[in-house]
Amino acid sequence: MRHFLGALLGGVVALTLGACDSGNDTTGTGGTGASGGSGGAGAGGSAACPTTVKAEPGTVITERGAVVGAKAGTTWAFQGIPYAAPPVGDLRWKAPEPHACWEDAKPTQAFGAACKQLNGDGAPVGAEDCLTLNVWAPETASAASPVPVLFFIHGGGNTQGSSSAEAAGVPIYDGQTLSERGGVIVVTINYRLGPFGWLAHSTFAPEGEADETGNYGLKDQVFALEWVKANIGAFGGDPSRVMVFGESAGALNTCLVLTSPKAAGLFSGALMESGGCVAQTKEVASAEADNWATLAGCQDDADPAACMRALNENDAVSLLPAPIDLAGKQGPFQPHVDGAFIPKAPFDLLASGDFNHVPFVVGANENETGQAVPDMTEAEYEALVNATFAALAPQVLAQYPAADYPTPRDAYVAVTSDAKFICGARRIARAAAGSTTVFRYHFTHVLDNVGPQGKKNGAFHGLELLFLFDKLTIANYMASDGEKALAEAMGGYWSRFGATGDPNGNGAVEWPVYDPVTDSYLQLDTTIVADAGVHTVNCDFWDSLL
């Protein structure tokens, strides 16, 4: 998460967005509440495992065994809980399966390994054995008084990132403050990335449902939601009130969960921060997989599946690096329409009303690509637009003439932020509004106490997460009073939405229900206001091209 640190320090930083066998089925018992609870029917349909461990404060009995957390303020933090069997060996490129039972209480006081990926320098990091999640639960939560659950999916282009991502040594997605402020349980997860998460090779099709292959990262996310449904009551959570939310690739995956029939009944609300609602075609995903298998030397092997599963994990993740270009095209290893978890193009499912009808929030930031775009001359700006938009470039340049912006760089930030994020948020909101209650936000705040480079980056991609998770003190940043108030307000909106499907209440500025005609939204800044119409003229332009 170096982009966060870069903004706070006012420097130029490269973006890095968009990281066991099954046990026997038996019966278990336990206590209640956030200080200890009982297991239940498990993810994937397995029954609870027997245990002699007794529930007590900080010890919770899950379906697979007891976990021991650590006190963090007025919450109990449980980190690194396995929610599925390690996807290694024969389980590589298979749907997740239940974890084996464990007999003794498992310490869960440190994050699990990030899923295997390449870091910003191109070096392999993390591990394949990575399917863990983290829970922050209020100490007052109990079976008698269960609290809502906020279930977070991290970003990173589906090739990088983790629930333990840090900036300046601080875990960005630490859920303690959000849990304490909102009186909610916060769950963050890891899921398979890159080729391990999304490789859609035909050799694995007979092992899947309806001959589908790939989308293992999405299957992990749905499996983790099944884990939450089965286990969160033991932590004092309410399995009927689970809000799924994510940022960047995590927002894209949230839209896939929203539109997947496999996730029906597992969540009560969804919230997308700065992401699209797209998936590759099966043909594109298959061609990419064949290319990868050829590079691996497995495409023409007598047993391609065995060949690929025998690959060293570092070699496997390094074969075809997937660059993350926030202002450009997606790399390989992405979700695709498989006919089962993603039955059709996800945006088409939204538009036709064929999705899980839960309250829904979507939004974006004013300068999404503000850290990704370098300085450029007007000639370079025009050349880049021509290279990016090809035959459409003359229309784009006419809509976004460099002379209308302080610099050519600002013009390209506007082009790419509108095209990839802001206008996409409007299309998504409009598509879903006919079938469910929708709210839209637009985050516009530029950090108060940064140097010229930080100001230049604007309200960049991912900045809102610093406010939501209240990480405004990293790198010794001195947040203004207005910024502290914005952080508290955002935590309140997100938590109330998770609790009731309506972000309003507690004296907050009223957030209007989305109206597709007026494009109503809530502007998130140190002064929060409800308004209508975000970049309307430019978004009408992009819609006309589609």
Q: Give the Cα separation of 356 and 350 in Å (integer).
A: 9
| Burial class of residue 508 in the structure, from the number of CB atoms within 10 Å of its CB (0-12 exposed, 13-18 middle, 19+ buried) | middle
Q: Is 248 a catalytic residue?
A: yes
pTM reported for the whole predicted model: 0.93
Q: What is the pLDDT of residue 211?
A: 72
Q: What is the pLDDT of residue 36?
A: 54
| Digit-coded pLDDT (tens) for 336-393 | 999 999 999 999 999 999 999 999 999 999 999 999 999 999 999 999 999 999 999 9
Mean pLDDT, range 243-259, rounded to an integer: 98
Q: What is the pLDDT of residue 109?
A: 98
Catalytic residue among 46, 163, 248, 268: 248
Q: What is the pLDDT of residue 15?
A: 30
Statement: residue 165 has pLDDT above 80: yes
Worst-scoring range by mean pLDDT, 3-7, 189-193, 390-394, 497-501?
A: 3-7
Catalytic residue among 461, 483, 495, 520: 461
321: confidence class by pLDDT, cuts 50, 70, 90 = confident
Contact call for residues 315 and 128 (beta carbons, < 8 A): no
Q: Give the Cα separation of 468 and 490 in Å (integer).
A: 6
399: three-class secondary structure by DSSP: helix
Catalytic residue among 139, 366, 368, 382: 368
169: confidence class by pLDDT, cuts 50, 70, 90 = very high
Tell me what the pLDDT averaged over the chain comes to.
Answer: 91
Q: What is the pLDDT of residue 23?
A: 34
Q: Is 201 a catalytic residue?
A: no
Q: Give the Cα separation of 119 and 14 in Å (integer).
A: 12
Q: What is the pLDDT of residue 327?
A: 66
Mark residue 157 as left, alpha or beta (left: phi above 0; alpha: psi -120 to 50; beta: remaining): left
Q: What is the pLDDT of residue 12?
A: 27
Distance from the Cα of residue 96 to its chain's centroid = 18
10: confidence class by pLDDT, cuts 50, 70, 90 = very low
More confident residue, 326 or 227: 227
* 3 state SS for 270-332: EEEECCCCCCECHHHHHHHHHHHHHHCCCCCCCCHHHHHHCCCHHHHHHCCCCCCCCCCCCCC
Worst-scoring range by mean pLDDT, 6-15, 303-312, 397-406?
A: 6-15
Q: Give the Cα separation of 400 and 117 in Å (integer).
A: 37
Q: What is the pLDDT of residue 546?
A: 82
Q: What is the pLDDT of residue 350?
A: 98
Contact call for residues 150 and 186 (beta carbons, < 8 A): yes
Contacts of residue 541, defined as CB under 8 A and 6 or more positions apart, other chains included, come to: 395, 399
Nearest residue to 167 via CA among 306, 11, 348, 21: 11
Mean pLDDT, range 232-246, rounded to an integer: 98
Q: What is the pLDDT of residue 289?
A: 97
* Total number of residues shown for the chain: 546
Name the CATH architecture for the domain at 1-546: 3-Layer(aba) Sandwich (3.40)
| Digit-coded pLDDT (tens) for 439-465 | 999 999 999 999 998 999 999 999 999
Q: What is the pLDDT of residue 8?
A: 46
Q: Is 535 a catalytic residue?
A: no
Q: Cα dist. 171→111, 174, 454 in Å?
A: 10, 6, 21
DSSP H helical segments within 232-270, as ranges?
249-259
326: confidence class by pLDDT, cuts 50, 70, 90 = confident
Mean pLDDT, range 396-411, rounded to an integer: 98
| Digit-coded pLDDT (tens) for 514-537 | 999 999 999 999 999 999 999 999
Contact call for residues 149 and 243 (beta carbons, < 8 A): yes
| Digit-coded pLDDT (tens) for 210-220 | 678 999 999 99
Structure tokens at 160: 């990088």
| Digit-coded pLDDT (tens) for 97-131 | 999 999 999 999 999 999 999 998 999 999 999 99
Mean pLDDT, range 237-243, rounded to an integer: 98
More confident residue, 17 or 315: 315
Contact call for residues 79 and 187 (beta carbons, < 8 A): no
Q: Give the Cα separation of 13 and 15 in Å (integer).
A: 6
Mean pLDDT, range 306-321, rounded to an integer: 95
Mean pLDDT, range 173-185, rounded to an integer: 98
Domain locations in the chain?
A: 1-546
Q: What is the pLDDT of residue 332?
A: 87
| Digit-coded pLDDT (tens) for 272-306 | 999 999 999 999 999 999 999 999 999 999 999 99
